[in-house]
Amino acid sequence: MTRGSDMHSGSTQSRPHDADAHARALAAATARLAGEPAAALAAAIALLAEAPDLLPAQLLAGQALFRLGRLEEAVARLSALAVLAPEVPAVRWELAQAAAAAGQPETAITALEQLTRQLPAVPGGWFLLGRQYRAAGRSEDGWKADLRGVAASTQDPELLKAALAMQQGELDQAAAMLVARQARAGGDPPASRLAAEIRWRQGDMPAAIAGLEAVLEQAPGYDMAREFLIRLLVQSNRLPDALAHAELLATSPVQNPGHDLILASVLVHLGEQGRARGLYEGLLAKTPNQPQVWQNLGHVLKTLGEQAGAVAAYREAVTRQPTLGEAWWSLANLKTVKLGAADIAAMQAALATLAGEASPRAEDLFHLQFALGKAHEDLGQAEAAFRHYLEGNRQRRAGISHDADAFSAEIDAATGVFTAPFLASRRDGGCPAPDPIFIVGLPRSGSTLIEQILASHSQVEGTMELPDMMMIASRLAARVEAGEFADFGAMMAALTPADRRRLGEEYLERTRIHRKSDKPRFIDKMPNNWQHTGLIRLILPNATIIDARRHPMGCCFSAWKQHFARGQSFSYDLVEVGRYYRDYVRLMAHFDAVDPGAVTRVIYEEMVADTENQVRRLLGAVGLAFEPACLEFWRNDRAVRTASSEQVRQPIFTDGVDHWKAFAPWLGPLTETLGDVVTDYPAVPASLTPI
């Protein structure tokens, strides 16, 4: 904001040499304002005694009174000045700040409404006006003022320069620009939002979240900052917080359908499929031509077990956007749906269309390849199916990071740390609650079947694949990477009984949001938790761990031809998936040896062949009495989010046990990598048995 230099220099009766003297005195007094406001006030009053019409001195006096905390006097003086100099923005700005500090929002609002009409491109006026509207109980007007401030900030050359540096990867330089700006101006929500994004890009998620929360304290109507915060909260699995912000965002005075999409996404993460469905259907009722929303509705309907509705939704999506690869794959991935020749022709045409585009989305390309593989497999065309699966996996593998050697080294470290003496010396400690039932193993191992059987018991609630144990493990590993501990073993050894109890309680608290009933037990079906068996034993010693195991060829091939939305980076190469399976068998064999009985193994083929006896054995391992409903698991209408969601809604069938054999001629790399794990299955080969 401009200051007194824009105002009349003084009385029209002043002589030239008096005006020069007044200007010099005024400049000297203004220079003392920041550090010596009392001296600046005294100088301003002295000037006004000589030249009562010297308006810059009136402004300086008001500024000094404000800085001295004499707020009522500052407001009175600046209000009078605003009548005399209505065209000077600095007067209204200073009046607004003083009135805001004095708890006079109506006075501040009047000044700021006039100021923002005069200078609509200055963000600070809008943000202060938003705060004063809220102080006066006008929350919607405050929200709109914040949005006007955000819009004005998009033309700020300094912010644009910092944003460009960030986009070019010059994060430290961009951060330095913003630090200098904040030191100079302060209270700048757009700059603070940009600083939070830089923190996120630097890998400091807690600082980014804290920064965005501070931004929204200043400017609750900053919708784009709230959208970004919701995204980071979901990534951090702070789902209740994400939901609160998403529900608030949905009330924005700006009618943005994207806000409903964000809310629906958070609801899906929370397992609130019914509410998400209502939002998607509401959006489509207003605007049907939204292929992505049709796809999202299909995902929800599939999870809810409404297969016909899911098929119809996916068909709507690909009809409206034939190149939408994920929708084609989602349709193909309905295990009880078979695609035909017409679908294959449509997908080939979609690939041809994408080939003509300058930069087609990689996601569309590899999703279409996986879908074509499934379509040819449905038609019994194994060679053509394998060709498409191979290409889809090649494309997907090119875009992800997986180091099989580094992963094997992590398993080596785990077997070296979690020895029998180490575990025996840590029987005390940890959270004693028996609530969690972990179902671990590889994806496509029959874990969803086990989950559905257990979730059909009156004492067990099925949730979903929960990321919380993996997030706790990652946080602990980060302490090693940060140099706090020499290695993984030192970090684990440093955990006291109280530490382990606190971590176990943290896991229960983090997962509580997913428990919708009062059943005493619940299932966490995150397959990758097999890697954290040792940590589970330390922090939740009374939890149940079920190892879902399937024939290595069937399991690995099924994982390889399955495109996973996230998390299974090992599965897109036949050699790497084989190595992963061997590492898994090796670690679980280790725990069988050093902590007998800690893990209960369920062999998929045995469950299929002798269901009732295996179900009774499974329930016994969990400590539950047999209930007939567990044998009629397909009648359970709970939401199931995994790739096997349709299969567990029907009685057990054996069709998929040996389906890999049709592809055996092309699975040489997998067979060779698995080696004796195949020939000795279901026993553990001597090569992987602890000495």
The whole-model pTM stands at 0.83
Identify the domain boundary among 69, 99, 119: 119
**349 lies in some domain:** no
Q: Which residue type does 574 have?
A: L
Q: Per the domain annotation, does 340 fall within a domain?
A: no
Q: How many angstroms separate the Cα of 146 from the Cα of each of 60, 110, 254?
A: 29, 17, 12
The verdict on residue 382 lying in a domain is: no
State phi, psi for 461 to the nearest 5 degrees.
Answer: -110, 130
β-bridge mates for residue 547, sequence order: 440, 601
Q: What is the pLDDT of residues 523-556, one digit of tens each?
A: 999 999 999 999 999 999 999 999 999 999 999 9
Looking at residue 645, its pLDDT comes to 44
Q: Which of 161, 70, 82 is nearest to 115 (CA)?
A: 82
| Residue range 488-500: mean pLDDT, rounded | 95
- Residue 655 reports pLDDT greater than 60: no
What is the crossing angle of helices 257-269 and 291-303, to 10°? Answer: 20
Within its chain, how far is the Cα of 70 from the centroid? Answer: 47
Please give the tally of structural domains in the chain: 2
CATH number, position 447: 3.40.50.300
Contact 487, 480 (CB under 8 A): yes
Contacts of 313 (CB under 8 A, 6+ apart): 294, 295, 297, 298, 301
**Single-letter code of the amino acid located at 198:** I
Q: Is the pLDDT of residue 10 over 50?
A: no
Residue 654 has pLDDT above 70, yes or no: no
Q: Is residue 418 part of a domain?
A: yes
Supply the pLDDT for residue 643.
45
pLDDT of residue 644 exceeding 60, the answer is no
pLDDT of residue 11: 44
Q: pLDDT tens-digit profile of 33-51?
A: 989 999 989 988 999 888 8
CATH at residue 84: 1.25.40.10
Supply the pLDDT for residue 454. Answer: 95
Q: Is the pLDDT of residue 481 over 50?
A: yes
pLDDT over 70, % of the chain: 94
In the block, residue with structure tokens 């529900």: 247
Compute how many other C-beta atoms are within 10 angstroms of the C-beta atom of residue 373. 25
The domain boundary, picked from 76, 104, 119, lies at 119
Residue with tokens 């079947």: 449
| pLDDT confidence of residue 471 | 93
Mean pLDDT of all residues in 335-345: 91
Return the higher-pLDDT residue of 650 and 621.
Answer: 621
* Tens digits of residue pLDDT in 42-91: 988 999 888 888 999 999 988 999 999 999 999 999 999 999 998 899 99
Domain-located, residue 203: no
pLDDT band at 396; cut points 50, 70, 90: very high
Name the residue range of residue 75's domain. 4-119
Q: With cut-offs at 50, 70 and 90, classify the pLDDT of residue 335.
A: confident
Q: Which of 119, 153, 174 is the last residue of a domain?
A: 119
Helix axes 16-31, 55-67, angle to 10 degrees: 20
For range 480-493, the mean pLDDT: 93
Q: pLDDT-derived band of residue 23, with 50, 70 and 90 as boundaries?
A: confident
- Does 571 reside within a domain? yes
Q: What value does the mean pLDDT of the chain take?
A: 92
- Where b means 16+ CB within 10 Å and e means fewer, 195-206 reads bbbbbbeeeeee
Cα→Cα distances 80→73, 85, 179, 304, Å? 11, 9, 37, 67
In the prediction, which pLDDT does 634 show? 75
For residue 12, the model assigns a pLDDT of 42
Assigned domain for 499 exists: no
Q: Is the pLDDT of residue 13 over 50?
A: no
Letter for the amino acid at 368?
L
With beta carbons less than 8 A apart as the criterion, state whether 313 and 298 touch: yes
At residue 651 the predicted structure's pLDDT band, cuts being 50, 70 and 90, is: low
Q: Kindly state whether residue 51 falls inside one of the protein's structural domains.
A: yes
Query: Does 92 have pLDDT greater than 60?
Result: yes
Tokens at residue 235, please?
């990534």
